[in-house]
Amino acid sequence: MAVGLSEPDDILPVAGIKLASVAAGIKKSGSNDLVVFLFDEDATCAATFTQNAFCAAPVTLAKKHLSLRQSSQLHPRALLINSGNANAGTGDRGLKNAEQSCRWLAEALHISTEQVLPFSTGVIGEQLPMSVMQSGILDIATNLDEDNWLSAATGIMTTDTIAKAVSKTIALDGQKITISGIAKGSGMICPNMATMLAFIATDADIEADFLQRCLSTVVEDSFNAITVDGDTSTNDACVIVATAAAKNKQLDTSSPEAEMFAQTLNEVCQQLAQAIVRDAEGATKFVTVEVTQADSIDEAKNVAYTISHSPLVKTALFASDPNWGRILAAVGRAGIEQLDISGVNIYLDDVRIVKRGGVDEDYTEEKGQNVMNQEEILIKVELGRGEHSAQIWTSDLSHEYVRINSEYRS
Amino acid sequence: MAVGLSEPDDILPVAGIKLASVAAGIKKSGSNDLVVFLFDEDATCAATFTQNAFCAAPVTLAKKHLSLRQSSQLHPRALLINSGNANAGTGDRGLKNAEQSCRWLAEALHISTEQVLPFSTGVIGEQLPMSVMQSGILDIATNLDEDNWLSAATGIMTTDTIAKAVSKTIALDGQKITISGIAKGSGMICPNMATMLAFIATDADIEADFLQRCLSTVVEDSFNAITVDGDTSTNDACVIVATAAAKNKQLDTSSPEAEMFAQTLNEVCQQLAQAIVRDAEGATKFVTVEVTQADSIDEAKNVAYTISHSPLVKTALFASDPNWGRILAAVGRAGIEQLDISGVNIYLDDVRIVKRGGVDEDYTEEKGQNVMNQEEILIKVELGRGEHSAQIWTSDLSHEYVRINSEYRS
């Protein structure tokens, strides 16, 4: 069902990173469900995590392990990711299970437990199957290789129908630098300061603070700008590793190429984030919601999210029905203080439907229908209040969405 | 599909109110689509309206006409309601059409145009069919009668599958007093300070300010406490008329029976509001979401709405799947400042699932399944932060909801 998305066929390996994926037996389907990244000693790591108060055990532990970077010399060396079980809502036992899993991997790789960052995705509220985890981890540790990116992208999938990966190369300090990333997610998608699961690696040498700042910034305009169902997951995480294997002069805020690197990272993250929406549960449409002329970015985002979360707008999109009254109603209920509706224009692609708060005299149902028939649609709202804008990517609400989510656990 | 709701068979007429309903031809189906209430000269009227910034033309006009109560002697005498067309997003022409409709009815009833309050519900963004309106209004004005409540309840329906009406009697000042009300709505339901459409009448003599305050208060705990899809309509309105025909001593804030009247009105409004949820588009479940031990009422409402609007919670309810992780995730993303999850308990009816933030050791899937199999379900969340609480009524998200809303205009 993925909209305008095909299997990735050109994921470039990143010097300094080895990875692997196996079918440990966590998923009932027998698909790959365990993934490990191992990175060189010189690597630098940055991450963002979910803001959900009920964050999962692996999120709690990964944050703790990551925080040891400053106080000790325990830099992260490995990522341990399982799909099929979120290890969320699992209390103390869930936390101990996450810790034990890290310990098993650390022993197999001859590193410290604190150097492993754990990630989980899948059903909430069930304990990890620990004997399956143990044998899977022992197995996977012997299979690490530079070329396993596609199988890793597949191993982190849950209800995803297609693997999501992006690679780009740039020149830094005369060196060719690679950035590769994988992501998963198609339901419970409304990341808040983070994303479902995304893992990005580069062989560039990048100063740690700059890397974290860079990631936090681009995540705002990529993973934090998508929504499928408005449901922020308990397990969202986005990690970037810079291995320094390319031996470029270390990149930091003052580097002339800093801006270009951030721009490229932004492209990678936006493409991965959009891939998640294109593969959203039951999606038949890929929709860009753009709100301009707002008083503030928050106001623009609020209106964009209100449109994106409206079940009535989403079902109209599914039906390819230019029922623009539902968009107008969503703008009207977004809670903007003293909105002057006579300043509001609404477009479907280039077709202006609403002009100064009422139907555009040139609008015809046929024009609207032509846009709605497309697989990719732009909903644009001009608020006529200011100079701020925001862009959100979202999907429609289909019978397939209801089917997937009413049958997910069975 | 209505959950635990049958056709009303005991709607009591209210002295001082005549009404009628006809099939004017606005709805393609040929069902009744025009309703008129006419009330005696001594009647007092109060109302609440949608907070949607794009409020419909009839809402703008009804508010204006109602505001003339104070400045002139033009007390409202009639309600003119059409279904099948919302007259929203219709600009100046929509406003003129609403005004012309009021004028036609006023002429037929020998009252002033400003004494007619107009209401519309149906598709947004289409102009009213004016010749159909004119002949329908002339027709209906000759059919007014005290006993037409059921046909009026039917005439205001759109995607409703069943008419919604409630009657109660109380004694005030030794007089038997009747309160009867009708309501409609099953989609675009998340009223904000008002409801879809509800019309309530009583033959009691009630002081105007007290009547308005009474209505505004009970609406908060009834029509403003339901949600189907989170989409606040452009046309929500709730009106109460007190005809004074019962000749009781005028009721005001200081009357000993003030509290009892407010309580009875609250029961009428809650029953009508719940009827809307029971008949929500595609509903197979009637769900009460109760949040207690919150820091404030706003916090409690916010958590209750976050659960009620989660497509993942709603599809799990449809599937009768005790997938409580989705409820937990919704609580976690509700944006409560510094939520200590170790204080949180979650119940399905009396079954405690989450105890101090983790799975209750006594919880079994079977216990959860037994509750979820019911048609009526209570989701209860204790936040462990304070003494405030809120209660919201909502429905599930089914295939039928998607079908109805992707086929609504075709």
What CATH number does the domain containing B255 carry?
A: 3.60.70.12
Contact A399 B401 (CB under 8 A): no
**B263 shares a domain with B370:** no
Q: Sort strands B345-348 and A376-382 into parallel, antiparallel or unpaired.
A: unpaired
**A216 shares a domain with A325:** no
Closest listed residue to residue A322, CA positions, set A297, A347, A356, A302: A347
pLDDT confidence of residue B194: 44
- Tell me the pLDDT tens digit for each residue of A57-98: 999 999 999 998 777 778 899 999 999 999 988 889 999 999
**A301 shares a domain with A184:** no
User: Which of A273-282, A312-321, B224-233 has maximum average pLDDT?
Assistant: A312-321
pLDDT confidence of residue A194: 44
pLDDT for residue A261 is more than 50? yes
Q: Sort strands B388-395 and A44-49 into parallel, antiparallel or unpaired.
A: unpaired
pLDDT for residue A116 is more than 50? yes
Task: Decide if the complex's ipTM is over 0.85.
Answer: no
Average pLDDT of B8-28?
93
Cβ–Cβ contact B264 with A under 8 A: no
Return the percentage of chain B with pLDDT > 70, whole number.
Answer: 97
Classify residue B10 by burial, with Cβ atoms within 10 Å: 0-12, 13-18, 19+.
Answer: exposed
What residues of A are in contact with residue B311 (Cβ under 8 Å)? 229-231, 311, 397, 401, 405
**B40 shares a domain with B158:** yes
Domain boundary at B250, B278, B306, which? B278
Output phi, psi for B26, to 5 deg: -75, -45
Overall domain count for chain B: 2
**B158 shares a domain with B52:** yes
- Does the residue A117 lie in any domain? yes
- Tell me the pLDDT tens digit for each residue of B346-359: 999 999 999 998 88
Cβ–Cβ contact A124 with B under 8 A: yes
Closest listed residue to residue B237, CA positions, set B84, B52, B69, B20: B52
Average pLDDT of B4-11?
86
**A203 shares a domain with A164:** yes
User: Domain of A390?
Assistant: 286-407
Q: Which of residues 77-106 of B touch A (CB under 8 A)?
A: 86, 88-92, 94
pLDDT confidence of residue B193: 42
Cβ–Cβ contact A384 with B under 8 A: no
pLDDT for residue B410 is more than 70? no
Q: Which of residues 145-174 of B touch A (CB under 8 A)?
A: none
pLDDT band at A19 (very low <50, low <70, confident <90, very high): very high
- Does the residue A1 lie in any domain? no
Alpha helices in B250-364 (DSSP H): 258-278, 297-309, 311-318, 325-332
pLDDT confidence of residue B327: 92
Domain boundary at B247, B278, B309, which? B278
Cβ–Cβ contact B319 with A under 8 A: yes
- Return the DSSP state at A206: B
**B267 shares a domain with B290:** no
**A247 shares a domain with A306:** no
Q: Sort strands B44-49 and B226-227 into parallel, antiparallel or unpaired.
A: unpaired
What are the distances in angstroms from CA B254 to CA A4, A88, B375? Answer: 67, 55, 43
- Does the residue A303 lie in any domain? yes
Contact A339 B229 (CB under 8 A): no
Q: Name B228's Cβ contacts closer than 8 Å, sequence gap at least 6.
A: B186, B187, B188, B189, B190, B276, B277, B280, B281, B283, B394, B395
**B214 shares a domain with B330:** no
Contact B125 A324 (CB under 8 A): yes
Of A92, A329, A401, nearest to B54 by CB-CB distance is A329
Chain B residue with the nearest C-alpha to that of A333: B52
What are the distances in angstroms from CA B57 to CA A1, A289, A352, B83, B233? Answer: 41, 27, 21, 14, 13
Closest listed residue to residue B311, CA positions, set A145, A404, A140: A404
pLDDT for residue A193 is more than 50? no
pLDDT confidence of residue B192: 54
Closest listed residue to residue B108, CA positions, set B74, B141, B82, B132: B141
Q: Are B377 and B319 in contact (CB under 8 A)?
A: no
What residues of A are in contact with residue B52 (Cβ under 8 Å)? 329, 332-333
CA distance linking residue A285 with residue A294, whole number of Å: 26
Question: Which CATH number goes with the domain that contains B321?
Answer: 3.10.20.340
What residues of B are in contact with residue A328 (Cβ under 8 Å)? 54, 88-89, 124-125, 234
- Tell me the pLDDT tens digit for each residue of A244-253: 888 899 999 9
